[in-house]
């Protein structure tokens, strides 16, 4: 298992940088992960998506699909604007969740 230090915290991560221990996640770590993913600042719209992903993951044990995000949280077009270049992968990583099974 790999590790990475962000904001003074050593995190357990996968080879692709996804957290393996959700208890290590916090908003400071999310902000740093976002910067690494090319998102300089997390806005309230970003946090709305992140919190939705976390809640849905807790309730269902899996990440929602982009279609579900579109219906329950934000329109697909906005999701792609908020998390450009692989929105579900980036949003999941920033939220401290596993890599989506649907993403290669």
Q: What is the pLDDT of residues 30-83, one digit of tens each?
A: 999 999 999 999 999 999 999 999 999 999 999 999 999 999 999 999 999 999
The reply to whether 73 belongs to the active site is no
Mean pLDDT, residues 6-30: 93
Long-range contacts of the stretch 60-69 (C-beta < 8 A, 24+): 62/101, 63/88, 63/92, 63/97, 63/98, 63/100, 63/101, 65/102
Q: Which position among 9, 62, 81, 103 bears the catalytic label?
A: 103
Q: Is the pLDDT of residue 22 over 90?
A: no
Q: Is the pLDDT of residue 1 over 90?
A: no
Residue 97 is predicted with a pLDDT of: 95
Q: CA of 22: how far to CAs of 3, 7, 25, 100, 103, in Å?
A: 14, 16, 5, 15, 20
State the pTM of this model. 0.93
* pLDDT class of 101 with cuts at 50, 70, 90: confident
Q: Is the pLDDT of residue 84 over 70?
A: yes
Q: What residue ranges do the domains of the chain occupy? A: 26-94
Structure tokens at 61: 């044990």
């Amino acid at each position: 298992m790999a590790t990475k230090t962000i904001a003074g915290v050593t995190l357990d991560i996968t080879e692709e940088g996804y957290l393996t221990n959700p208890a290590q996640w916090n908003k400071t770590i999310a902000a740093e992960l976002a910067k690494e993913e090319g998102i300089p600042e997390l806005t309230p719209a970003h946090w709305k998506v992140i919190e939705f992903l976390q809640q849905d993951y807790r309730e269902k044990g899996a990440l929602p699909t982009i279609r579900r995000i579109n219906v329950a949280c934000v329109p697909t077009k906005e999701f792609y604007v908020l998390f450009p270049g692989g929105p579900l992968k980036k949003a999941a990583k920033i939220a401290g969740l596993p890599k989506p099974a649907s993403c290669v």
